[in-house]
Structure 1
Amino acid sequence: MTTPVIELRGVTRRYEGGPPALDDVSLTVMPGEAVAVLGPSGSGKSTLLNLIAGLDRPDAGTVTVDGVRVDRLGEAGSALHRRARIGMVFQFFHLLDDLTVTENVVLPARLAGTGRREAGRRAAELLESLGIARHARALPGRLSGGERQRVAVARALMNRPALLLADEPTGALDTAAGEDVGGLLAALHAEGQSIVLVTHDLALARSCTRRTVRIADGRVTEDAR
């Protein structure tokens, strides 16, 4: 029997005594699935993503990612788990401007203890497959927004993660670049990559996922395949 890549059971998260940001949420994502999480601002999307990534802890319930109870991990354990099993792509890239494209991409592998030569080979493969090998020695500031997001995706995939989390990955891009990144995510899904995409963009969700989960007021209101 296949083990889920994500399994949340009865997860609740409150902040400062207010209403729950997430309220008794259960969610299962199987390996190879691509899931879009949709909802208005303040619905709980970012809280859900942070709990899956181990950046936050639930007040109740369990969070299991790739067979590991991340809600039980301490700060150091969570960091190690993210580095080994989770790739993350953000709206504003979070690339280091004083490092070249290749240096940005190899960073997760070097932090994980991968040798320089092996990390370099993996980075070169990723840059080639994502169509940005020509920018390997460039600084991020010389690239377009779409190209920088491709670098961010390459970095997220560096350690061959079981799960890719994408938080509004087209939010800072123009329409053409956003469609380009959507196509990239769709291609990764077709290759078997497990993806959870948080977005306001229904067109993006439809272009690269086959399942949508809608959240409102901290609760899952729809789960459509």
Structure 2
Amino acid sequence: MTMPVIELREVSRRYDDGPPALHEVSLTVRPGEAVAILGPSGSGKSTLLNLIAGLDRPDTGTVTVDGVRVDGLGEAGSALYRRSKVGMVFQFFNLLDDLTVTDNVALPARLAGMARGEADRRAAELLELLGIDRYARVRPGRLSGGERQRVAVARALMNRPALLLADEPTGALDTAAGRDVSRLLGDLNAEGQTLVVVTHDLALARSCTTRTVRIADGRITHDVRSEAVASQGDASHIDASQVVR
């Protein structure tokens, strides 16, 4: 059987003297799955995301991503892990306004030691495939929210990560831009990108994922697989095969 991309075993995390943010959570995500993590504020879904991303450590249990024991990494190891194994997309984009779109996208590869010319070529490929190559020399502040989120997705895919994590990726977008980004994520998964989307938006979960995991009070209460998401077949569809390989 294929090795899981994500494997959490009996993971717990508590902050200060309050109730556990996560309590004995076990979760396995296989290559090519698209999983939505749903739950209200305070349910533990953000803690779960941070543990998978190596931004936090569990008090007990293990976190393994693409063969790496994330819970045992130090600060330098965690940074290297995020550059090589995980691409992250955030609600508010987290782009650097003093850099061009190309430089924002190429940054993870440059931090990983890739030569500038090679990184710029990879960035140009991603921008073209995501339909935003005309903004290559523009700074992010001149773009719409949907365009900035596409730049953020391109940056997350720069190092061909085993796992793409998206934290409320449509939360700061209007309805039309949100649908566009949802279709983009669905297209990427259809071509094999393993995807985990943390959200409170059931419509987003239904549109771009094939498995729903609900969390309440730090525990998984619901884990259901659905049928594959159908492509919308409109102008926003991309040939994602070149992006994820």
Q: Which TM-score band applies after superposition, normalised by the shorter structure? A: over 0.9
Question: What does residue 73 of structure 2 align with?
Answer: 73
Deviation sequence 1:57-99 (CA, Å, 0-9, x none): 0000000000010000001100000000100000000000010
CA displacement at 1:188 relative to structure 2: 0.4
Give the SS at the match of 1:95: coil
Question: What does residue 32 of structure 2 align with?
Answer: 32
Question: What does residue 142 of structure 1 align with?
Answer: 142
Provide the C-alpha distance between the structure 2 equivalents of 1:150 and 1:195, rounded to a whole number of angstroms.
16
Provide the C-alpha distance between the structure 2 equivalents of 1:90 and 1:116, rounded to a whole number of angstroms.
25
Give the SS at the match of 1:50: helix
Alignment-mate amino acid for residue 58 of structure 1: P
The normalised TM-score by structure 2 is 0.91
Question: What does residue 238 of structure 2 align with?
Answer: none
Provide the C-alpha distance between the structure 2 equivalents of 1:115 and 1:193, rounded to a whole number of angstroms.
25
Question: What does residue 126 of structure 1 align with?
Answer: 126
CA displacement at 1:119 relative to structure 2: 0.6
Question: What does residue 41 of structure 1 align with?
Answer: 41
Question: What does residue 161 of structure 2 align with?
Answer: 161
Provide the C-alpha distance between the structure 2 equivalents of 1:31 and 1:115, rounded to a whole number of angstroms.
29
Deviation sequence 1:27-85 (CA, Å, 0-9, x none): 00001100000000000000000000010000000000000100000011000000001
Deviation sequence 1:158-177 (CA, Å, 0-9, x none): 00000000000000000000
Alignment-mate amino acid for residue 29 of structure 2: V
CA RMSD of aligned residues (A): 0.4
Alignment-mate amino acid for residue 178 of structure 2: G
Give the SS at the match of 1:11: strand
Give the SS at the match of 1:81: helix
Of the two structures, which has the highest relative contact order with CA contacts closer than 8 Å and spacing of 6 or more? 1
Question: What does residue 230 of structure 2 align with?
Answer: none
Structure 2 unaligned segments of length 5 or more: list them: 226-245
Question: What does residue 63 of structure 2 align with?
Answer: 63
Provide the C-alpha distance between the structure 2 equivalents of 1:35 and 1:176, rounded to a whole number of angstroms.
22
Instruction: Give the fraction of aligned pairs with identical amino acids, expressed as a percent.
Output: 82
Question: What does residue 184 of structure 2 align with?
Answer: 184
Question: What does residue 204 of structure 2 align with?
Answer: 204
Question: What does residue 18 of structure 1 align with?
Answer: 18
Question: What does residue 52 of structure 1 align with?
Answer: 52
Give the SS at the match of 1:35: strand
Question: What does residue 229 of structure 2 align with?
Answer: none
Provide the C-alpha distance between the structure 1 equivalents of 2:17 and 2:84, rounded to a whole number of angstroms.
34
Provide the C-alpha distance between the structure 1 equivalents of 2:191 and 2:100, rounded to a whole number of angstroms.
27
Question: What does residue 102 of structure 2 align with?
Answer: 102
Deviation sequence 1:126-181 (CA, Å, 0-9, x none): 00000000000001000000000000000000000000000000000000000000
Question: What does residue 223 of structure 1 align with?
Answer: 223
| Number of equivalent positions | 225
CA displacement at 1:17 relative to structure 2: 1.9
Provide the C-alpha distance between the structure 2 equivalents of 1:143 and 1:11, rounded to a whole number of angstroms.
40
Question: What does residue 195 of structure 2 align with?
Answer: 195
Provide the C-alpha distance between the structure 2 equivalents of 1:131 and 1:65, rounded to a whole number of angstroms.
30
Alignment-mate amino acid for residue 147 of structure 2: E
Alignment-mate amino acid for residue 5 of structure 2: V
Give the SS at the match of 1:160: coil
